[in-house]
Amino acid sequence: MSIGNSPEDERPFEDVSEEARPSVGHALRRARIAAGLTVDDVSSATRVRIAIVHAIESDDFAPCGGDVYARGHIRTLAKAVHLDPAPLIAQYESEHGGGRPAPTPAAPLFEAERIRPERRGPNWTAAMVAAIVVVIGFVGFTMVNGGDDGDNANVAEGTEPTTSPSPTPTTKKPADPAPDPSDSAIAAAPQDKVTVRVTAADGRSWISAKDHNGRLLFDGLLKQGDSKTFQDSSKVNLVLGDAGAIDLFVNGKKIEDDWQPGAVERLTYTKGDPQAG
């Protein structure tokens, strides 16, 4: 527990004369205190830095780094203190004149990383075989020359020297190179379904998952080390409250993406993902 930061010691920013509708920051702070949570608790649950939580509760959104990040932090904090984020985001947009961003074009929200062929190393097997052939040839050549000298010295006068047949060097057929490894992770996943596995590898994160009909599969907080697997016949929709803490596997393949701590990501995956480019 943080010293001097307990819910009982905190007081509202404004007195009883404030307007009927509280500010965004005041609403978040009041809900946090009502839930019995400290700023440290909220920061640990959402991975939003303590300084940013304090700034948002004071209606100072400059540390968020822009309207997009501010809306994402408001949504994440509202979920953590059990508030509906939609009214707070709408209030933020009306007060700051940001407006909603332009609608996203009708295209997949995720473009799979192109699968890069594995770089082959030197063919050491063929090099070893070639070296063995050279050694055998050299030994055979030496044996033939040495044998001729000895035979000529011991041949009786008037007789024909006999020569022994020189050994024929043998060569080994180079081993066939091993085939490129297939992507076993994707091959092992069911081809007729989409399978998504979410693991809270680097901390706690709130997540939500729905199937292709919009039916809620899960909505809650994953503790660090926890995992959830979702499967549907055609599509899985995800919302990650803290994408930077998540390891994501789609149809057996790990998704590599540079998600920042505290970033909120909305993702959709189908049974064809990730696409090979």
**CB contact set of 221 (below 8 Å; sequence gap of 6+):** 45, 204, 205, 206, 207
What pLDDT, in 10s, does the model give residues 198-245?
A: 998 888 888 999 999 989 999 988 899 999 999 999 899 989 888 888
Start-to-end Cα distance in the chain: 49
Task: Name the band, by pLDDT with cuts 50, 70 and 90, for residue 182.
Answer: very low
pLDDT at 15: 45
Q: What is the pLDDT of residue 120?
A: 59
Q: How far apart are CA 228 and CA 205, in angstroms?
A: 12
Mean pLDDT lowest among 116-120, 132-136, 183-187, 238-242: 183-187
Q: How far apart are CA 157 and CA 147, in angstroms?
A: 19
pLDDT of residue 38: 94
- CA-based nearest residue to 274, from 152, 133, 108: 108
Specify whether the CB–CB gap between 33 and 248 falls below 8 A: no
Average pLDDT in the 39-48 region?
92
Residue type, 254: K
The answer to whether residue 123 scores a pLDDT higher than 60 is yes
The predicted structure's pLDDT at residue 1: 42
Distance, CA of 47 to CA of 49 (rounded, Å):
6
**231 close to 207: Cβ distance less than 8 angstroms:** no
Residue 162: what pLDDT?
Answer: 52
CA-wise closest residue to 196 among 246, 250, 235, 247: 250
Q: What percent of the chain has pLDDT over 90?
A: 33
Q: What is the percent of the chain with per-residue pLDDT over 70, rounded to a whole number?
A: 66
* Phi, psi angle pair for 185, to nearest 5°: -65, -40
